[in-house]
Amino acid sequence: MGKMPKLVQKLGEESKDYKVNAIQIKKICRELDLGDRVDFLIAELKGSGVMTPKLSSLAEVMRETSSIYELNPSLCVNTTGK
C-alpha cells in the first residue's frame, strides 16, 4: 500500500466522529515518513475531497489548539465495530 492510502487509513483510525486536527495530521505524517510536506498534504487532501475544514465555534478551535478537519465518511472504514 502506498503512503497516501496509509495516510487516509490512519486519519480514519485516529479520528473521532470523522474529525481530526492539524496536530494529529502532522503526527501521522511523521509516522509515515512524509516529512515536512504537511501543509502540502493537507491541501491535497482537501482538494481531493478526503477532508474539509470544519467550520466550528471559536471555543472548539481553542480547545483543539489547531485547525479541525472533517473526513469524508464514505472513505473511512470503521474497523472497531462501533
Mean pLDDT per 10-residue section of the chain, whose length is 82 residues: 87 91 91 85 92 74 75 73 42
Q: What pLDDT, on the 0 to 100 scale, is given for residue 55?
A: 73
Q: Interior CA angle at 68 toward 30 and 38, to 5°?
A: 30
**For residue 62, is it within any domain?**
yes
Q: Which of 11, 4, 3 is nearest to 76 (CA)?
A: 11
For residue 65, the model assigns a pLDDT of 67
Q: How many CB atoms lie within 10 A of CB 21?
A: 20
Q: Is the residue at 76 inside a domain?
A: no
Q: Is residue 19 part of a domain?
A: yes
> For residue 74, is it within any domain?
no
Q: Are the C-beta atoms of residues 1 and 15 closer than 8 Å to each other?
A: no
* Per-residue model confidence (pLDDT) at position 81: 40
Residue 63 included in any domain: yes
- Cell readout for 51 is 477532508
Residue 77 located in a structural domain: no
Q: Given this model, what pLDDT does residue 61 score?
A: 59
C-alpha cell read off for 75? 472513505
Residue 57: inside a domain: yes
Our count of domains for the chain comes to 1
Q: What is the pLDDT of residue 70?
A: 93
Task: Kindly state whether residue 64 falls inside one of the protein's structural domains.
Answer: yes
The reply to whether the predicted model has a pTM over 0.85 is no
Range of the domain at 58: 3-69
